Amino acid sequence: MPVINRVAEFHKELTEIRQDIHAHPELGFNEHRTAALVAEKLKSYGVDEIVTGIGKTGVVAVIKGQQNKSGKTIGLRADMDALPIHEILGHEYKSQNEGVMHACGHDGHTTILLGAAKYLAETRNFDGTAVMIFQPAEEGGGGGNEMVKDGMMERFGIDEVYGLHNSPGTDTNHIHARTGPLMAAADFFEIEIIGKGAHAAHPDHGIDPIIVGTDLVQAFQRIVSRNVDPLKSIVVSVTTFHCGTADNVIEQTAKLSGTVRTLDMDVRDFAERRMQEICNGIAQLHGAKINLNYQKEYPVTINHPEQTKFALDVAKKVVGEDRVKDDIEPVMGAEDFSFMLLARPGAYVFLGQGDTPNCHHPEYDFNDEIIPTGSSFMVKLIEEGMPLS
């Protein structure tokens, strides 16, 4: 069961769609043109229902199978938003929106799902209902959560949900995943340090927020090296540190920010608690005031065992058993498909796109050659998951 012949026939058309979306990138919750294009294509494919405005700018389409004896509904998800990055490649479909580009392949993900929708609407060789989910604002906006909060799962009766992401550096048309934690939780923090300003020649008259801040940075790293089980992953990165405007002044305040990544919910909770304890202790040590604003953003992306095995079994039929891995290491990047996997059982997989620049790089471009494979995989999740009797 390799790439579906009919899907392969769509390749040129789908490539043109992908490149059009690439040329008109839109940031999270502003995917108005993209959402309109998706809805227009879905209408032309003859799907049974199209609903816009779910999760603000999301689009959902319903395709009914030849039968509905199973009463089952499977959701397939793609993200639509772009990133605030200046594209430096000069291809003819280069971004026409200065400072915004599809640097993570969401243009490709959207196109893959459109290809699957076109084929499924034509053939309907399944027993149940397929729901196509075109999600906004994956890049930091939590669009997946917004769609869940809008009642999408209940409204469309979704029983299981699946998604994929292109994988630079992974061989073209290989499919990889794992059961359990696949991608990390992403939390973010902002810290304000209030010390006491002074002349730089008299540091004893002040409370130096730079010294306080450097103590914080060092202490946070000991959460990783001394407080958490070394067999459990955690990253604590302080990524900004702003203080001072003159070389002869000890500033009164400083601001730091950064991110925490974890693969375990208990470790995630501990990290937040420990950072607050460290802030309290260092503030007391220096006589400063430290305000910590800790925001839990995306949860851990956790693949469900039964659905992951099913997805990878389907993958083996599409790309071949030798091109499928079921035991890859988790990655510390985050993904808001995690919200959908908290709401319903399902799985998320990586689709190899070859030796290309990594995601979020200004020279990144989605590999159009993997579109038929991605669309065929999505189709077979529906046909194999809800087979005709």
Query: Residue 360, annotated ligand binder?
Result: yes
176 among annotated binding-site residues: no
Catalytic residues, by residue number, are 81, 138
Using CA atoms, how far residue 297 sits from 256, 264, 336, 351, in Å, is 18, 14, 9, 25
Range list of β-strands (E), the chain: 49-54, 58-64, 73-79, 129-135, 160-167, 175-176, 180-183, 185-194, 198-199, 234-242, 249-250, 253-262, 289-298, 301-303, 324-325, 346-352
* DSSP secondary structure letter of residue 357: P
Q: Does 139 belong to an annotated binding site?
A: yes
- Any binding-site annotation on 104? yes
Sheet with 185-194: strands ordered across: 234-242, 253-262, 185-194, 289-298
Q: Determine how many CB atoms are found less than 10 A away from the CB of residue 23.
A: 18
Q: Are 237 and 216 in contact (CB under 8 A)?
A: no
Alpha carbons 95 and 75: distance in angstroms, whole number: 30
303 vs 183: CA distance, rounded Å: 9
Q: CA 23, CA 28: separation in Å to the nearest integer?
A: 16
Binding residues: 104, 106, 139, 165, 360
Binding residues for Mn(2+): 104, 106, 139, 165, 360
